Amino acid sequence: MERLTPVEQRAPGRWQIGTVTAIKRETPRVKSFRIALPMWMEHLPGQHYDVRLTAPDGYVAQRSYSIASSPLDVGEIELTIDRLEDGEVSPYFHDILVEGDQIEVRGPFTSYFVWRGEHPVMLVGGGSGVVPLMAMLRHRRRTMPELPMRLLYSVRSAEDLIYADELGEDAVLTFTRDPPADWSGHRGRLDEELIAQSAGSLTSGIAFVCGTNGFVESATGLLLDSGFEPQRIRTERFGPTGQL
């Protein structure tokens, strides 16, 4: 039988069976899942896990999901998943999985899209692209609340706002379709003025951008125009071009 050292047992890349401990509805299309892991290991905000579903006939579907939680949440991770109508994996999470169920995951995976405490920090997220940025914001609020970090979050309508109860003064919102009735802030897609206003003096720092391909491309262009150094803009793309 294969013998593993404690470090090898915890190495990312090893599949493990997690248990869903809590499910929270964030929006009509998005839910957050807290998953307890027997081989949990500390992640860096921005990293992701892979999830694997295996059908009785052996068919396997595997997808990546960013970690939404702070690494201070020892023993568990939170994944926040947008339900795609014709998807294979995201509808399983939404329609089938209940608290107490088990799910196969592996991670956390390293990427250059991680926040290691550099500052100041500008976060720009579109739709579910806010998920890894929330891990950064949550971690900063718990460890270094004085550190300059701002989230610019583009979302379709008021009902699509993920983490609505946690978006504080360090978050700036824009609604591309239907803002709340009493909304006096920005409407429409990101533009130069909104980026410049929300970035302020943060342009000397690092930026993280996450969303669909189209969102990431336009946001990155605007950040460059507003003065961010190209090598200090880190991007993560979640999937095909979509409407935000």
Residues in contact with ligand FAD by CB under 6 A are 48, 63-66, 80-82, 84, 86-90, 128, 131, 212, 236, 238-240, 242
Gyration radius of the chain over CA positions: 18
Task: Report the residue closest to ligand FAD, judged by CB.
Answer: 87
Are the C-beta atoms of 50 and 109 separated by less than 8 Å? Answer: yes
- Residue 153 or 238: the one with the smaller Cβ distance to ligand FAD is 238
Q: Name which of 82 and 160 has its Cβ closer to ligand FAD.
A: 82
Least Cα distance to 212 among 230, 228, 189 occurs for 189
Distance from C-alpha of 32 to C-alpha of 24, rounded to nearest angstrom: 5
Nearer to ligand FAD, 50 or 120 (CB): 50
Nearer to ligand FAD, 50 or 101 (CB): 50
Least distance between ligand FAD and beta carbon 190 (Å): 18
Bridge partners for 81 per DSSP: 31
To ligand FAD, the closest distance from the beta carbon of 49 in angstroms equals 9
Least distance from C-beta 214 to ligand FAD, angstroms? 10
Residue 50: burial class (beta carbons within 10 Å; 0-12, 13-18, 19+)? middle
